[in-house]
């Protein structure tokens, strides 16, 4: 159970909120780069942490991420005409470059040069730095003096043919997604029908360790009969990345659209070689972490508005716990069912929720540290050179002490 105040502190992400300000100290994904490939092509709407923005690549190839509102009469720049050197508001012709500067004010021919310069300076719009990495356009929305270098996130450093990436909108708060990602017990139940047999064993051991990149969550399953404990180490990279220790590996990024909506980026990848047809089969048949979306849309076909196309007879048959197709849809369904922002004051947590409790504590600690001006985890790009991994160890072995070492050693 969490206090109402702490639940608010952890979940709200708008400007000025504790978590919103913490997240703004990191690079956050704005869009897949292929949606703004063409110089002078159509702008893309981006809503990130409660801010409405427009992403565009001007005619000369420069990327800009600026406030969606034209500061003149607040019309949307999404409808703007994308020109060689900027985006022109179609209402009265004001033009803004990728830095947010107003570079043309054609609706005011009577102004002299000094007046024009002055007004244009006042008409500048908010613009955020962007960078392209791993087929994604990332934004930095925090104070410029704190802008970190882009982290060495493994899946962003490999050739495009080594990964398969999708994204979809979850109609709930980002933390429900992140907590779900580190909830080892649900694998056995929610995904029971689809899961590999080795995962049907409930994890009974939990270790969560704070690191210089975020934290590492270890969950141990005891197969019994005196066999070694099966440990699974999952890394959480600040502020909202998870890497799954499967083959192909899988990355999740829970980027908040606002307090009640999340853009979940899902990436299957193999660092050392291109994905094969075999690797891709599970993903593209929508049985894995990806959801099948309506063509050209970030909305899944199976949503809360159609009860995720639940098949009750499949559920009754025992072949699937949920009767819903694919891990991604199952996660989305159950996380959304907790409400737009889960009321954590109403929970009754069990011993199997130990990892969740520790994760919340670490996130609250990060908020305190940020407020106190202390150094945040993940500011060193090389700290992200880690990999989630699995191993076996004798019962009683002191695994916690070796977890950080192990996820570092597993990285390339």
User: Applying CB under 5 A, which residues contact Fe ion?
Assistant: 331
Name the residue nearer to Fe ion (CB basis): 53 or 289: 289
Q: Give the nearest distance from C-beta 180 to Fe ion in angstroms.
A: 6
- In angstroms, the CA 14 to CA 18 distance is 9
Q: Which two tokens stand for residue 85?
A: 């050197």
Q: Which residue is nearest to Fe ion (CB)?
A: 331
Pair 323, 311: CB distance under 8 Å: yes
3-state class of 8 per DSSP?
Answer: helix
- In angstroms, the CA 155 to CA 251 distance is 8
First to last CA, the chain: 39
3-state class of 45 per DSSP?
Answer: strand
What are the Cα distances from residue 87, in Å, to 40, 62, 130, 375? 9, 11, 16, 38
Name the residue nearer to Fe ion (CB basis): 75 or 314: 314
- Burial of 296: CB neighbours in 10 Å, binned 0-12, 13-18, 19+: exposed
Name the residue nearer to Fe ion (CB basis): 321 or 341: 321
- In angstroms, the CA 197 to CA 188 distance is 9
Name the residue nearer to Fe ion (CB basis): 51 or 331: 331
CB atoms within 10 A of CB 118: 12
4-12: Cβ within 8 A, 24+ apart: 4/345, 6/344, 6/360, 6/364, 7/341, 7/342, 7/343, 7/344, 7/345, 9/364, 9/367, 10/175, 10/360, 10/363, 10/364, 10/367, 11/173, 11/174, 11/175, 11/259, 11/341, 12/259
């Amino acid at each position: 159970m969490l206090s109402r105040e702490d639940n608010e502190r952890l979940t709200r992400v708008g400007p000025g909120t504790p978590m919103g300000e913490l997240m703004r100290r990191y690079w956050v994904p704005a869009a897949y780069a292929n949606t703004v490939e063409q110089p002078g092509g159509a702008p893309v709407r981006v809503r990130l942490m409660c801010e409405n923005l427009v992403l565009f690549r001007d005619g000369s190839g420069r990327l800009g991420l600026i406030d969606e509102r034209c500061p003149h009469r607040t019309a949307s720049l999404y409808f703007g005409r994308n020109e060689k050197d900027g985006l022109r508001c179609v209402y009265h012709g004001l033009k803004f470059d990728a830095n947010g500067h107003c570079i043309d004010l054609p609706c005011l021919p009577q102004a002299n040069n000094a007046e024009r310069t002055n007004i244009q300076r006042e008409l500048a719009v908010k613009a955020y730095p962007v960078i392209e990495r791993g087929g994604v356009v990332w934004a930095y929305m925090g104070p410029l003096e704190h802008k970190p270098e882009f982290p060495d996130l493994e899946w962003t450093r490999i050739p495009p043919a080594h990964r398969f990436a999708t994204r979809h909108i979850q109609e709930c708060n980002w933390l429900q997604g992140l907590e779900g990602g580190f909830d080892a017990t649900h694998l056995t139940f929610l995904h029971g029908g689809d899961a590999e047999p080795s995962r049907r064993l409930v994890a009974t051991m939990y270790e969560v360790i704070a690191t210089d990149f975020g934290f590492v969550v270890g969950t141990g399953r005891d197969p019994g009969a005196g066999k070694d404990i099966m440990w699974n180490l999952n890394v959480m990279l600040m502020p909202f990345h998870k890497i799954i220790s499967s083959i192909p590996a899988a990355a999740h990024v829970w980027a908040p659209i606002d307090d009640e909506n999340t853009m979940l980026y899902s990436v299957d990848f193999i660092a050392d070689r291109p994905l094969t047809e075999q690797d891709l089969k599970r993903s593209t048949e929508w049985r894995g972490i990806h959801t099948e979306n309506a063509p050209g849309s970030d909305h899944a076909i199976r949503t809360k508005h159609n009860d995720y196309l639940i098949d009750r007879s499949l559920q009754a048959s025992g072949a699937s716990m949920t009767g819903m197709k694919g891990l991604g849809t199952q996660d989305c369904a159950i996380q959304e069912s907790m409400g737009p922002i889960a009321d954590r004051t109403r929970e009754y947590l069990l011993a199997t929720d130990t990892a969740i409790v520790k994760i919340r504590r670490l996130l609250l600690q990060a908020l305190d540290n940020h407020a106190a001006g202390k150094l945040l985890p993940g500011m060193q790009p090389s700290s992200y050179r880690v990999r989630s991994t699995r191993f076996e160890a004798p019962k009683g072995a002191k695994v916690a002490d070796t977890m950080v070492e192990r996820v570092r050693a597993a990285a390339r």
